[in-house]
Amino acid sequence: MIHFPDGAAFARALQALPEPDEQAIAAAAARQAMLTKPAGSLGRLEEIALFMAGWQRQERPRADRIRAAIFAGNHGVAARGVSAYPAAVTAQMVANFRGGGAAINALAAACGAELSIVPLELDRPTADICQAPAMSEADCLAALNAGAAVVDADCDLLIVGEMGIGNSTPAAALCAQSFGGQPQDWIGRGTGVDEAGLARKADAVARALHRHASHCTNAFETLRRLGGREIAAMAGAVLAARLMRVPVLLDGFICGAAVAGLARDNPAITDHCIAGHVSAEAGHARLLHAFGLTALLQLDMRLGEGSGAAVAAQIVRSALAAHDQMTTFTEAAVAQAL
């Protein structure tokens, strides 16, 4: 299991990212060239198979053991009226996840993923980022490690998701800090705020950046000051997955913002990530563009809780099923291209 003893160890890990196995990619590409289809005709499904081969270091990658890790946290900034729902919903939804009645329960079951629900000190919201760093160093480290702890090396694919009333505001601040632009470029309706709520979000992001920007000198400090527990946990999970060469399916805007916190220090952090979908949250398309990622799906979802990634996992499974199960031209006695 990956554990970061301190912020410096986390920073070192982020600078020493393993690369995919080029030999496995070449073997998978050679296999793909022999399968009974015109070259390239499975489009992005072929890219997905090669991507998975590289990270799993095998010619025929698997998606049998999918883990969906959903982290939950509460946010001091929620008291500023930046969400359409009360903060109590975070804990209530965690109970719903545990009871099996949320969207992610159905969608994880549908794609064959095992769910891990990880609430992070819901009774102790982070500080209001307009006034103070969201977390102490110890709290941020604990959250990063809670994320890292869900990843095990025999996982074929990791889905990361979140639940946290108010978290689209710190997510917007993280994106603005990491990639520049104005608060307006990164804020959106979240759970469905009205115009006044949107204005409060813009104001909160501007205040947070004004207070913290000059102190956000590295990924740890950026996540600690502008993030939240579930956001840091997602960052820890994505980094730990990379260290174990476990490919990751990213969910929506808040999930992406966690990775934005890491990407400024090392843009290669997204190399083992697939963007499962582009959510309806206004800043998500901009964020994926900044990462250079193209989402698998655009379904106008804006739920969070790993839901978009769980739907996208069906595409990954389809890609790997074709790659694994199709016959070759020789086996099926089908004539090759002229």
Ligand X SMILES: Cc1cc2nc[nH]c2cc1C
Active-site amino acid positions: 305
Burial 215-244 (b: 16+ CB within 10 A, else e): ebebbbbbbbbbbbbbbbbbbbbbbbbbbb
- Least Cα distance to 96 among 262, 303, 289 occurs for 303
Q: Is 67 helix (H, G, I), strand (E, B) or coil?
A: strand
Q: In whole angstroms, how far apart are CA 326 and each of 42, 150, 320? A: 12, 33, 10
Q: Are 238 and 265 in contact (CB under 8 A)?
A: no
Q: CB 112 → ligand X: shortest distance, Å?
A: 21
Spatial neighbors of 179 by CB under 8 A, at least 6 apart, are 260, 264, 286, 287, 290
Q: Which of 171, 175, 278, 303 binds ligand X (CB under 6 A)?
A: 303
Q: What type of residue sits at position 119?
A: P
By beta-carbon proximity to ligand X, the closer residue of 304 and 308 is 304
Does 163 bind ligand X (CB under 6 A)? Our answer is yes
- Taking CB under 6 A as the binding criterion, the range among 3-11, 171-179, 196-204, 301-309 that sits at the site for ligand X is 301-309
Antiparallel, parallel or unpaired: β 248-250 and 273-275: parallel
Please tell me the count of residues contacting ligand X according to CB under 6 A.
8
Q: Which is nearer to ligand X, 93 or 241 (CB)?
A: 93
> What does the angle CA 121 – CA 13 – CA 151 come to, to the nearest 5 degrees?
50
What is the separation, in whole angstroms, between the first and last Cα of the chain?
51
Nearer to ligand NCN by Cβ, of 78 and 150: the residue is 78
The item of ligand X, ligand NCN, none sharing an interface with residue 319, based on CB under 5 to 8 Å by kind, is: none
- Site residues (CB under 6 A) for ligand NCN? 83-85, 162-169, 190-191, 193, 251-254, 279, 281, 284, 302-305
Nearest distance in Å: CB 145, ligand NCN: 22
Query: Is position 281 an interface residue for ligand X (rule: CB under 6 A)?
Result: no
Residue 329 binds ligand X (CB under 6 A)? no
- Decide whether 247 or 304 has the Cβ nearer to ligand X: 304
Q: How far is the CB of 33 from ligand NCN (least distance, A)?
A: 37
Binds 111, which of ligand X, ligand NCN, none (CB < 5 to 8 A, cut-off by type)? none
Does 94 bind ligand X (CB under 6 A)? Our answer is: no
Distance between CA 207 and CA 211 in Å, rounded? 6
Burial group, residue 255, by CB count within 10 angstroms (0-12, 13-18, 19+): buried
CB of 253 to ligand X, least distance (A): 11
Give 45 or 310: the residue with its C-beta nearer to ligand X: 310
Instruction: Please give the residue ranges that form the binding site for ligand X (CB under 6 A).
Output: 85, 89, 93, 163, 191, 303-305
